[in-house]
Amino acid sequence: MDKKAIVSLLTEYNIANDSEIQGFTASEVKKCEQALGLKLPDQYHEFLLAIGHYAGLLFQGTDILFRNVGDLLELRKEAEDLLIENEETFILPTDAFVFSMHQGYEFNFFVISEGNDPPVYQYVEGDGPPVLVWDSFSAFLRKSINSCAQAIRDGIE
């Protein structure tokens, strides 16, 4: 999904209106890549450009949208701290990119070398090592949007 498609789905499903959507600028994405020393996968790049800062009701309660690049880059440290705290033997790969943390007990990541729309892995405190949950970042994003839209239709949001 490109930037336009992501924004279109959010407005179509009443997850956000135009004033509630704000993506990263191209220079913010570049700053993130420079700090990492790695190029982010194309699909994640589009996600950041579309909704990297704000996305209405999407992802409420999850650290995945950020006011600044520095906060996004802190997620890996938080994930590593969680693994240590839980005495996990799993170590994040060098090119793993932690893109979300939920309530301090769950995080999602992809491995940058696994392609432009990489699979997404999830670690949940107490469940052992991370597992592959979505075949691609775009599948993760579609599922998240659809789940949020369903919650809105059901009157949960």
Residue 157 has pLDDT above 60, yes or no: no
Q: Which two tokens stand for residue 62?
A: 């999850």
**Number of domains within the chain:** 1
Domain enclosing residue 123, as ranges: 3-153
Which one-letter amino acid corresponds to residue 152? I
Rounded Cα–Cα distance for residues 23 and 48 (Å): 6
Q: Which two tokens stand for residue 141?
A: 């994003």
Q: Which two tokens stand for residue 120?
A: 């997404």
Rounded Cα–Cα distance for residues 157 and 154 (Å): 8
**What is the tens place of the pLDDT at every residue in 82-121?**
999 999 999 999 999 999 999 999 999 999 999 999 999 9
Rounded Cα–Cα distance for residues 130 and 124 (Å): 7
Which domain CATH number covers 126?
3.40.1580.10
Report the predicted TM-score, pTM, of the whole model to 2 decimal places.
0.93
**What is the tens place of the pLDDT at every residue in 36-49?**
888 999 999 999 99
| End-to-end Cα distance, the chain | 24
